[in-house]
Chains A and B, each alone.
Chain A
Amino acid sequence: MLRAMVKRALKRDDDTVLITKTLLRLNQKESSKSRSNLVDDEALEWLKPRTLLKPDEQEDVPEAELDEEVGRFLTTINPQWVADEVAYHYGQGKFVKKPKPSFGKAYPLYIYQGTAIRKDSEEAKAQIAAGYGMVGFDDAGPKKVKVKKSAAEEEEEEEPEPEAPPPEEAKHEEEVLEEEKPVETVEEQEAHPVEEEHEEAAEAEEVIEEAAPEEHVEGHEEEVIAIKPRVKKLANQFNFCERAALTYNLPRRSVETQTVPPPRATYGATVLQCIIFDFYQEDYARKQREKEEEKPKRLRKKARKHAKSAQQIHDEQLAQRIREAWTILERLVNQNIYDDIAQDYRYWDDPSDEFREGMGSLLPLWKFQFEPMRSHAVCDVQWNPHYQDLFAVAYGSLDFTQQQKQGCLCLYSIKNPAYPEYAVITESPVICLDVFKETPYLICVGLYDGNVCVYNAQLTLESSYQYKSDSVRDKHSNIVWEIRWGARLIDGEASFFSISGDGRVVQWAVMPGELQATTIITLRTDLPPLPGPDGTLLTVNSCGSCICFHPEKADIFMVGTEDGMIYTCSLKYNRNYVRSVQGHHMPVYRIHYNYFNNSIYASCSGDWRVKIWEDGRDEPLFMFELGSPVGDVKWAPYSSTVFAACTADGKVYVFDLNVNKYRPICVQAVVSKKTKKLTRIDFNPILPIVVCGDTKGTCHVVKLSPNLRVMCKPPKKAQGIEQRTLQIMKLDKLLSLVRDPPFQTGVVDEKFEDD
Chain B
Amino acid sequence: MGEEAAAAGAAVEKVVHTYPLIRHTDMSEEMRVEAIELSVTACEKFSQNNELAARMVKESMDKKFGPAFHVVVGESYGFEITYECTTICYMYFGGNQAICIWKCS
Cα-based distance from A271 to B76 in the complex (angstroms): 5
- Interface hub of A264, A267, A272, A279 (most chain B Cβ within 10 A): A267
Question: Is the Cβ of B78 less than 8 Å from the Cβ of A267?
Answer: no
A268 in the interface (beta carbon within 8 A): yes
A212 in the interface (beta carbon within 8 A): no
Question: Is the Cβ of B83 less than 8 Å from the Cβ of A264?
Answer: yes
Inter-chain contacts of B15 with A (CB < 8 A): 284
CB-CB nearest in chain B for A263: B85
Given contacts A276-B98, A284-B17, contact A270 B78 (CB under 8 A): yes
Question: Is the Cβ of A272 less than 8 Å from the Cβ of B76?
Answer: yes
Inter-chain contacts of A268 with B (CB < 8 A): 78-81
A419 CB to nearest chain B CB (Å): 69
B4 in the interface (beta carbon within 8 A): no
CB-CB nearest in chain B for A281: B17
Inter-chain contacts of B96 with A (CB < 8 A): 273, 276
- Interface hub of A264, A265, A283 (most chain B Cβ within 10 A): A265
Cα-based distance from A281 to B78 in the complex (angstroms): 21
The contact size tier of chain B is 20 to 34
Question: Is the Cβ of A269 less than 8 Å from the Cβ of B104?
Answer: no
Q: Mark B22-49, 1 if CB is under 8 A from A, else 0.
A: 0110000000000000000000000000
Cα-based distance from A271 to B74 in the complex (angstroms): 8
Question: Is the Cβ of B75 less than 8 Å from the Cβ of A273?
Answer: yes
Question: Is the Cβ of B21 less than 8 Å from the Cβ of A280?
Answer: yes
Question: Is the Cβ of A264 less than 8 Å from the Cβ of B82?
Answer: yes
CB-CB nearest in chain B for A266: B82
**B46-103 contacts to A (CB < 8 Å):** 74-85, 88, 90, 92, 95-98, 100, 102
Question: Is the Cβ of B17 less than 8 Å from the Cβ of A267?
Answer: no
CB-CB nearest in chain A for B16: A280
Question: Is the Cβ of A271 less than 8 Å from the Cβ of B75?
Answer: yes
Cα-based distance from A83 to B98 in the complex (angstroms): 108
Question: Is the Cβ of A269 less than 8 Å from the Cβ of B95?
Answer: no
CB-CB nearest in chain A for B21: A283
Inter-chain contacts of B104 with A (CB < 8 A): 264
B25 CB to nearest chain A CB (Å): 10
Q: Mark A251-265, 1 if CB is under 8 A from B, else 0.
A: 000000000001111
Cα-based distance from A672 to B85 in the complex (angstroms): 99
Inter-chain contacts of B79 with A (CB < 8 A): 268-271
Q: Mark A298-326, 1 if CB is under 8 A from B, else 0.
A: 00000000000000000000000000000
Given contacts A277-B95, A279-B92, A283-B21, contact A267 B77 (CB under 8 A): no
Question: Is the Cβ of A266 less than 8 Å from the Cβ of B76?
Answer: no
Q: Mark A275-296, 1 if CB is under 8 A from B, else 0.
A: 0110111011000000000000
Inter-chain contacts of B77 with A (CB < 8 A): 270-271
Inter-chain contacts of B92 with A (CB < 8 A): 276, 279-280
CB-CB nearest in chain A for B22: A283
B65 CB to nearest chain A CB (Å): 13
CB-CB nearest in chain A for B85: A263
B47 CB to nearest chain A CB (Å): 16
Given contacts A272-B76, A279-B23, A283-B21, contact A267 B83 (CB under 8 A): yes
Checking B76, B78, B84, B102 against A273 with a beta-carbon cut-off of 8 angstroms, the contacting residue is: B76
Cα-based distance from A279 to B102 in the complex (angstroms): 21
CB-CB nearest in chain B for A276: B92
Question: Is the Cβ of A264 less than 8 Å from the Cβ of B95?
Answer: no
B22 CB to nearest chain A CB (Å): 9
Inter-chain contacts of A266 with B (CB < 8 A): 80-83
Inter-chain contacts of B82 with A (CB < 8 A): 264-266
Inter-chain contacts of B100 with A (CB < 8 A): 269
A745 CB to nearest chain B CB (Å): 96
Inter-chain contacts of A269 with B (CB < 8 A): 23-24, 78-79, 90, 100
Cα-based distance from A307 to B19 in the complex (angstroms): 41
Inter-chain contacts of B78 with A (CB < 8 A): 268-271
Cα-based distance from A376 to B29 in the complex (angstroms): 73
Checking A267, A271, A276 against B95 with a beta-carbon cut-off of 8 angstroms, the contacting residue is: A276
Inter-chain contacts of B90 with A (CB < 8 A): 267, 269
Cα-based distance from A268 to B100 in the complex (angstroms): 10
B61 CB to nearest chain A CB (Å): 16
Given contacts A276-B98, A279-B23, contact A265 B83 (CB under 8 A): yes
Cα-based distance from A264 to B92 in the complex (angstroms): 23
A649 CB to nearest chain B CB (Å): 88
Cα-based distance from A744 to B67 in the complex (angstroms): 115
Inter-chain contacts of B84 with A (CB < 8 A): 262-264
**A137-155 contacts to B (CB < 8 Å):** none
B95 CB to nearest chain A CB (Å): 6
CB-CB nearest in chain A for B103: A262
Cα-based distance from A272 to B96 in the complex (angstroms): 8
Question: Is the Cβ of A264 less than 8 Å from the Cβ of B85?
Answer: yes
CB-CB nearest in chain A for B97: A276
CB-CB nearest in chain A for B102: A267
Cα-based distance from A263 to B84 in the complex (angstroms): 6
Question: Is the Cβ of A267 less than 8 Å from the Cβ of B88?
Answer: yes
Cα-based distance from A268 to B77 in the complex (angstroms): 11
Cα-based distance from A410 to B93 in the complex (angstroms): 76
Question: Is the Cβ of A271 less than 8 Å from the Cβ of B85?
Answer: no
Inter-chain contacts of B98 with A (CB < 8 A): 271, 276
Inter-chain contacts of A262 with B (CB < 8 A): 84-85
Inter-chain contacts of B75 with A (CB < 8 A): 271, 273
Cα-based distance from A268 to B104 in the complex (angstroms): 14
Cα-based distance from A277 to B102 in the complex (angstroms): 23
CB-CB nearest in chain A for B73: A271
A285 CB to nearest chain B CB (Å): 11
- Shortest Cβ-Cβ A-B pairs, 8 listed: A268-B80, A271-B98, A270-B78, A280-B17, A263-B85, A266-B82, A276-B92, A271-B77
A–B pairs, 13, beta carbons within 8 Å: A263-B84, A265-B82, A267-B90, A269-B23, A269-B78, A270-B77, A271-B74, A273-B76, A276-B92, A276-B98, A279-B23, A280-B17, A283-B17
Further pairs besides A262-B84, A269-B90, A271-B76: 8, Cβ < 8 Å: A265-B83, A267-B90, A268-B79, A268-B81, A271-B75, A273-B96, A276-B95, A284-B15
Write the residues of chain B forming the contact surface with A, with a CB cutoff of 8 angstroms: 15, 17, 21, 23-24, 74-85, 88, 90, 92, 95-98, 100, 102, 104
